[in-house]
Amino acid sequence: MTDLATVLRANGRRLTPQRRRIVEALAGLGHATPDAVAAQVGADGGASVPLSTIYRGLEALEALGVVSHTHLDHRAPTYHLTGHADHVHLVCRACGRIDEVPASAATEFVAQISASRGFAADVTHMAVHGVCAECRS
């Protein structure tokens, strides 16, 4: 936790209560859109934080590698703590359900494109679309 302050300060940034709350919200939610983060932050009892601050906070934290985001579905960037367990998201195109599988399932795939293209893939929180088991039947 104090680590957060360290990372920010090391880059001339500051740890404000708002940012601390953004991180806490993400820790509790796992994944969340800026909107959802705002809602969660507002739900912790304290004063609500304007969306603009949420956006700027997430942006600052992402620049420092504390959080990152992916696009699980249509229009919604979902943020998560970088430390959050690495996994790939399986997004069902039919029912919308989102399942997860450990990122290790893609190890081979990652190695392959690294070898063939020199591309260092980061499959953490990668979104894979398709149809889930239930919807297939």
Contacted entry of DNA, a copy of itself, none for residue 84, CB cut-off 5 to 8 Å set by kind: none
Query: Please, what's the b/e burial string for 18-36 (b: 16 or more CB within 10 A of its CB; e: otherwise)?
Result: bbbbbbebbeebebbbbeb
Rule CB under 8 A: choose which of 11, 27, 30, 93 binds a copy of itself: 93
**What stretch of H or E contains 36?**
helix 34-42
Q: How far apart are CA 133 and CA 137, in angstroms?
A: 7
- Give first-to-last CA distance, the chain, whole Å: 46
Subset of residues 38 to 57 that bind a copy of itself, contact rule: CB under 8 A: none
Q: Measured from the CB atom, is 21 or 58 closer to a copy of itself?
A: 58
Binding residues for DNA, rule: CB under 7 A, are: 5, 8-9, 12-19, 33-35, 47, 49-53, 55-57, 59-60, 75-77
How many residues of this chain bind a copy of itself (CB under 8 A)?
Answer: 34
**What stretch of H or E contains 27?**
helix 17-29
Q: Which chain residues interact with a copy of itself by CB under 8 A? A: 70-71, 74-75, 77, 88, 90, 92-93, 99, 101, 105-106, 108-109, 112-113, 116-123, 126-133, 136
